[in-house]
Structures are given as C-alpha cells and as structure tokens.
Amino acid sequence: MINAVSIGIHDIAFATTHYVLDLDDLARHRGVDPAKYHLGLGQDAMSIPAADEDIVTMAAAAAAPILQLHGTDNLRTVLLATETAVDQSKAAALYLHPLLNLPSTTRIVELKQACYAATAALQFAIGLITRNPADQVLIIAADIARYDLDSPGEPTQGAAAVAMLVTADPAILQLDSPSGVYSDDIMDFWRPNHRSTAVVDGELSVRTYLTATSQAWADYRNNGGRQLDEFSAFCYHLPYTAMARKAHKHLLETLGIEWPNDRIAAVVDAGTRYNRTIGNSYTASLYLSLLSLLDHSSELSGRAVAFFSYGSGCVSECFSGTIRPGYRQHLRTADNQHQIAARTPISYPRYRAVHTEHANPCIADCYFDQDTAGPYRLTEIVNDKRRYQKI
C-alpha cells in the first residue's frame, strides 16, 4: 500500500569530521591483528572530530547544501535526531538558526532514542506532510560515537551527520506504507547523564539487534508489507559494517531461507561502503547506508529498498521505499567521496589527546582555537553558552 500523498526524500547530503584515524594505526598501538577490525568488524577507519567540531557543526555542514539549493520558503519543520546532545534542554538544531539563516516560522525539535530517532523523525515528517503537502521537513541525524579509550568499542567509533529534505513528490526515494516496529526495555547500551561515553553490553546488544530485526520484519509483513524477494537492496543500521551481513543472515534463518554469501553481499554491501571508512554514526548510520547504496549501486530506478532501523534500549523499525526515476541527477556522489578523502589523518597520540579533551566536560569557560577545516566551528563555551561560527 502506498501513501495517498507520495512522500519521501527529495534531497540528501552528509558531513563528517576533519580528522580520520586509520584502524591499522589503532591495531598497531593496541597490539592486535588488523584483521580483527577489517574482517571481524568490517571497519577500515573512523572519523574523529576536531576540538572545535561537534554535532551542531556537522549538522550545519550537512544541511547547508540542501538549503542552498532548495531555499527555506516552504520549510516548516526541522527535526534533529541525536544521542550526542550538547544540552539537556535546548534543541541542538536551534543553534543552526544563525549558521543557516533558518526562518523563525519553523518548528524545531530534537529527538532522542539511541540510534533510532532519525527514523521516528521520518515518520513524523510523513504525518506533517500528509496534513499539508506543501510543507517541507528537514531531518538531520548527527552523532559522534565515542567509547572509552582501550575499550572493546573503541574501534567502532565514528562521526557523521546526514540531512534529508522530506517533501511530497520526492525526487530520490518514495516512502512506502506500512512499517513494522518492535520495542522492549533492554539494558544493552546506555549513557547515564554523568558520563560522556556509553556503557555497552556488546553480546547482549548484538542478540537484541538480531531479535529486533526479525520481530520488526514480522510486524512489517503482518501489516501488509512487501515480501523479501521484492527488494533489490537492504539497508541496515551499522554499528559496524559486518553487522549488515550478520543481520541479513539471521533474518533469512528466521524465515527458513538459505542464500549463498555472494547473494547476501549483493543486496547489502553497497550500503556499507561509506560506513566502513567513517565508523558508527549512531542516528545517521542507517541513512549514511542509504547514501552509500545510492552512490555505489547500478541503476536503482523503480527498485524497492528495505530499511532496518535499530536503537538500543530498544526500538526497531522495518520500512521500505521505492527509488524514483531520475534519482541520479539529484545525488552528490563526487562531493561525498571527496569529503571522505579530504579528511586529515590524525596521529595516534593526537587522537588520544583530542578524545580526552572531548570526553571531559567544559566546567569553566572554554575557548577553542581553529582546528577544523570545515565550514562551521565551535568557538567557545562561556557561562555555559555555546557559540558557533561560520568560517
């Protein structure tokens, strides 16, 4: 069943950080075989934010090209999904007002539920546009995955923001109906208020992710969703890229289906290319997978794509979309690939210093020298007030 009003992603862009750490360097300093990261996790590198970068600077960089192209005349809502909030009360997207010249006639909200919240934002956008098809909604998923130094989660760190303009009659992806959901109270991953890094039960988190995937799929099918063989590609939330094949194999097993590894790779691997070199980006991860799929696949016009969104704790959703004819002319493939290649390699000692600086909260006034080469930066935190600058 298709929405009465065709709604979906009209434009999509992303941003990442100034620095990159090659996992070969991390493996050498931790005294482990690099294959543990490259093959076991499916990760090659991870984006590391400079001292003057955070979710706001990435969100602004991701959203700017979309707003420059489409303007803000019909923009009525901005939804920023993150689990790396910079304030316990004020929505991070409000800091974007002076950076992006957002209109004052725009509702702005921050959403949180681990890595899932951007999918909730997408569903909220569908409702808003169904009510008024002339409205446009800007969704930004922005996160920095940061774990304790020398912890098991350290090699899965990363950072990125993905911005999506959701409209009626979209140019890139039409969202289908229905979706399937699954929620449960599970302590697999959480970050108490007093911590800057997450607490993780890795084995439980993997088991819960797999359970949530099959349960969300079952609810999707029970509500009239497409059959498995109707999909040309599957995009998964990627805490690390090896999880895509693992999750797809699990889904097939629950359905009593056997596929050879090359067939699984054919439907999931194109969506893992960017994540493999950026690392985990929490709420942005699934939509970075979509961007990777669009940039690395052969012609997808008219093809159906399945999406599996997962947020620890846990909430999961399975939904689908259809790629629109002519979508390629709306992509920024060369810019996306340049942005990844242009990151500055960071030395291991400098990485540890920056990690420690980010992990320690700014209690007194803090002033930041310019480190990033990106278009936006955090300049200072004075009297607990954050100030940003367009470079």
Q: Is 369 exposed, middle or buried (0-12, 13-18, 19+ CB in 10 A)?
A: exposed
- Tokens found for residue 97: 């007002």
CA 148 to chain centroid, in Å, comes to: 21
Give me the phi and psi of 153, to 5 degrees please: -80, -10
Q: Which of 10, 53, 83, 314 is catalytic?
A: 83
CA angle 134, 139, 142 (to 5 degrees): 170
Residue 1 pLDDT: 41
Which amino acid appears at position 69 of this protein?
Answer: L
CA 189 to chain centroid, in Å, comes to: 17
Q: Which of 53, 115, 235, 358 is catalytic?
A: 115
Query: Which pLDDT band holds residue 359 (cuts at 50, 70, 90)?
Result: confident
Catalytic, 83? Answer yes
* pLDDT tens column, 203-220: 999 999 999 999 999 999
Query: Which pLDDT band holds residue 194 (cuts at 50, 70, 90)?
Result: confident
Q: Could you tell me what percent of the chain has a pLDDT over 70?
A: 99
Give me the phi and psi of 235, to 5 degrees please: -110, 130
CA angle 197, 337, 110 (to 5 degrees): 40
CA distance linking residue 370 with residue 53, whole number of Å: 10
Residue 305 pLDDT: 98
Q: Answer for the pair 296, 222: CB distance below 8 angstroms, yes or no.
A: no
Give me the phi and psi of 264, to 5 degrees please: -65, -45
* pLDDT tens column, 248-291: 999 999 999 999 999 999 999 999 999 999 999 999 999 999 99
Query: Which pLDDT band holds residue 364 (cuts at 50, 70, 90)?
Result: confident
- Tokens found for residue 364: 């007194």
Residue 105 neighbours by CB distance under 10 Å: 8
Query: Which pLDDT band holds residue 197 (cuts at 50, 70, 90)?
Result: confident
Catalytic, 237? Answer yes
Residues 98-117 have a mean pLDDT of 97
* 3-state SS track over the chain: CECCCCEEEEEEEEECCCEEEEHHHHHHHHCCCCHHHHHHHCCCEEEECCCCCCHHHHHHHHHHHHHHHHCCCCEEEEEEECCCCCCCCCCHHHHHHHHHCCCCCCEEEEECECECHHHHHHHHHHHHHHHCCCCEEEEEEEEEECCCCCCCCHHHCEEEEEEEEEEECCCCEEEECCCEEEECCCCCEECCCCCCCCEECHHHHHHHHHHHHHHHHHHHHHCCCCCHHHEEEEEECCCCCHHHHHHHHHHHHHCCCCCCHHHHHHHHHHHHHHHHHHCCCHHHHHHHHHHHHHHHCCCCCCCEEEEEEEECCCEEEEEEEEECCCHHHHCCHHHHHHHHHCCEECCHHHHHHHHHHHHCCCCCCEECCCCCCCCEEEEEEECCEEEEEEC
**pTM above threshold 0.75:** yes
* pLDDT tens column, 17-65: 999 999 999 999 999 999 999 999 999 999 999 999 999 999 999 999 9
User: Would the pLDDT of 229 be above 80?
Assistant: yes
Catalytic, 53? Answer no
Residue 362 pLDDT: 83
- Tokens found for residue 322: 């259809």
**Averaged pLDDT score across all residues of the chain:** 96
Residue 363 pLDDT: 82
Q: Does CATH number 3.40.47.10 belong to domain 7-390?
A: yes
Residue 322 neighbours by CB distance under 10 Å: 21
Q: Which of 18, 53, 110, 237 is catalytic?
A: 237
Residue 164 neighbours by CB distance under 10 Å: 31
Residue 360 pLDDT: 81
